[in-house]
A and B are shown apart, each in its own frame.
Chain A
Amino acid sequence: MNLDYAFAWSIFPDLLRGLLVTMQVVILGFVLAVLLGLVLAIAQRSSLRLVSGACKAYLSFFRNTPLMVQLYVLFFALPSAGITLPAVSTGVIGLGLYYSAYIAEAYRGAIDGIPKGQWEAARALDFDTATTWQRIILPQALKPMLPVLGNYLIGMFKETPLLAVITIPELFQAAKQVAGMTYRYNEPYTLMALMFLMISVPTSLLFKYLEKRTHV
């Protein structure tokens, strides 16, 4: 394979712009997914049938339909209902909603893994429910969650080429555009692959480090 380094360098800023959009969508989407996933995981345990039922319906919908379909619904169906969002926000919401369903399941597993004795010890010391979650249960649930969250973050990152279908100018879209305009494919796609690697590998290392550092 022949790579023209001068050409690669000249298209670097275009791809970098795409990468920044990608990272922005992924990071915001991840924050949304982690927070919403947590809310879903806790609400799922609610004794109120309505609340836990609504959670189950949510999880089942978002886990059993393709992300692409969800993005289309958000992007094309919502505006016809009078809700218009910029493409990037739609991407953040789309990724966030989809991954929150998976992350909620992971939280559930981690929370279920906390021994019953921890809840009882908290009760025995007269902790209220919020303090029990905040100080006792979640800090312990987070440790086994870290590698899972790391995997989902990288997974989200790798799903971003899908966002091209809803016109978000992310990395894949940028590389495709360069290729389409110059009829040169090696450089933009190789550079794109390297950029994906440059982000995912350090991210996975970061989560490994965080996991080691957390004391349980």
Chain B
Amino acid sequence: MSEALHSTAPEPAQIQLTQVVKDFGKTRVIDHLDLSIPQGQKVALIGPSGSGKSTVLRLIKGLESYQQGRIEVDGALVTAKSPSWRWPGSKKPPVVHRVGMVFQQFNLFPHLTVLENITEAPMRVLHVSREEALERAHTYLALVGLSHKASAYPGNLSGGQQQRVAIARALAMRPKVMLFDEVTSALDPELVGEVLAVIRSIAHEQQVTMLLVTHEMKFAQDIADRVLFMEGGRIVADGSPRQILVEPDNERTRRFLNLVEQR
């Protein structure tokens, strides 16, 4: 289905899921899913709750294990095996950071300032210098419009501000793929706009591949190149925002959109 859009792309997909199966106990949440996303594409995942949208994102980040199939990002296999112990000070293999993720609940580190939240990972994981980490932090804080909050603690920020810091934190790792997991669902309605604006500007200015799980249909239509409709752990519709959101030919998609519309 998606081939219509990107059949001409000769290079291998950046994100490739092949026949992936994920069970939670006896419940099958992802059912032989195939998905291939080329570099730079902005993809919105929509669908009813429990359809497996968030699980797809979590699988791509390696936060969930899966029972069958194969997940690759930039040709590297993704698994949920936890990173191993090492002795402090021992030589570390270089970390290749490919995938950044932003969560519904922000998950900022409450004991660190906004600035430290952003500099921590580049310094500890990518081993960039302190100056470089600070420079990155200030760049991305400016991008999300929160330069004046650099020394604040997350507990003193609004939900919308916390989520923008979380986005800056993820971007400071210079990921090739950004995953947004219902990033506005936990926000008060008046704070949704500021977060969507930040994501929109990233979508327009950055080369990063984006995968968003969202219930904001209007927003999805605005920024996405491609919309996936999921149900029961499968992708049941895949196409341009226009095909899926405006002129859905799939009965289930239509019903779902009507329900969302009525909220």
Contact = CB atoms under 8 A, between A and B. Distances in A.
Interface of A: 115, 117-118, 120-121, 123-131, 135-136, 139-140, 143, 214-216
Interface size class of B (residues with CB under 8 A): 20 to 34
A125 B110 contact: no
Contact of B121 (A117, A126, A129): A126
B213 interface: no
Nearest to B179: A124
Contact of A120 (B107, B111, B153): B107
A136 B107 CA distance: 11
A125 B169 contact: yes
A117 B101 CA distance: 12
Which secondary structure dominates where chain A touches chain B? Answer: helix
Contact of B88 (A115, A120, A130): A130
B170 interface: yes
Contact of A118 (B84, B107, B166): B107
Contacts of B107: 115, 117-118, 120-121, 124
A126 B173 contact: yes
Given A125-B121, A135-B120, 17 more contacts: A117-B103, A117-B106, A118-B109, A123-B63, A124-B101, A125-B97, A126-B125, A126-B173, A127-B121, A127-B124, A128-B92, A129-B84, A129-B85, A130-B85, A130-B88, A140-B110, A140-B111
Contact of B62 (A121, A123, A143): A123
Contacts of A128: 83-86, 92, 125
Given A117-B107, A135-B120, A216-B110, A123 B86 contact: no
B86 A215 contact: no
Interface in B102-144: 103, 105-111, 120-121, 124-125
B94 to A, nearest CB: 11
Contacts of B92: 128
B100 interface: yes
A127 B88 contact: no
Given A126-B95, A127-B124, A135-B124, A121 B109 contact: yes
B42 interface: no
A123 B61 contact: yes
A115 B125 CA distance: 22
Contact of A127 (B63, B103, B125): B125
Tell me which of A121, A127, A131 has the highest count of chain B C-beta atoms within 10 A of its own C-beta: A121
Contacts of B97: 125-126
Contacts of A117: 103, 105-107
Contacts of A143: 111
B63 A124 contact: yes
Contacts of A135: 120, 124
A124 B61 contact: yes
Nearest to A136: B109
B206 interface: no
Nearest to A47: B82
A120 B111 CA distance: 16
Interface in B204-236: none
16 contacts: A115-B105, A117-B103, A117-B107, A120-B107, A123-B62, A123-B82, A124-B99, A126-B97, A126-B125, A126-B173, A127-B124, A128-B83, A128-B86, A128-B92, A130-B85, A216-B111
Contacts of B108: 121
